[in-house]
Amino acid sequence: MKTIALAALLTLAALPVAQAQTTHGMDHSNMHMSSEQMEAAVHAKAVVNSIGTGTANVSHDPIPEIGWPAMTMDMPVLEDAQMMGDIKPGDSVTLMLVKGGDGLYSIGAMMPN
């Protein structure tokens, strides 16, 4: 009985951590993406170097889920991307990258860290 109670307690204690890792604090409910796109989305830590119309230059950490090393690159920003907060060059952010029908990734959301 003690083992079951301990297992239940540990499971409940880990739930907020698991949920935070899954959502990264982003509200995905307003995004216009298919469930397949949402499931295939990956998150990455990055620094914003510049933001333009429909594009952002970012220096991101390695993204092992898709086999990308750390790099600096121009990335397309989806037209309906969620930009959470006032993001400007030099900010550290979490990116949500969405794989398009063409197999390429775009920024679907950006949240300051």
Residue type at 106 in one-letter notation: S
Q: What is the pLDDT of residue 90?
A: 98
Q: What is the pLDDT of residue 13?
A: 41
Q: What is the pLDDT of residue 17?
A: 36
- Alpha-carbon span 62 to 43, nearest angstrom: 10
Task: Specify the CATH number of the domain 29-112.
Answer: 2.40.50.320
Residue 99: partners with Cβ closer than 8 Å, 6 or more residues away: 37, 40, 41, 105
- pLDDT tens for the 113 residues of the chain, in order: 454 443 333 344 443 333 333 444 545 455 555 565 566 799 999 999 999 999 999 999 999 999 999 999 999 999 999 999 999 999 999 999 999 989 999 999 999 99
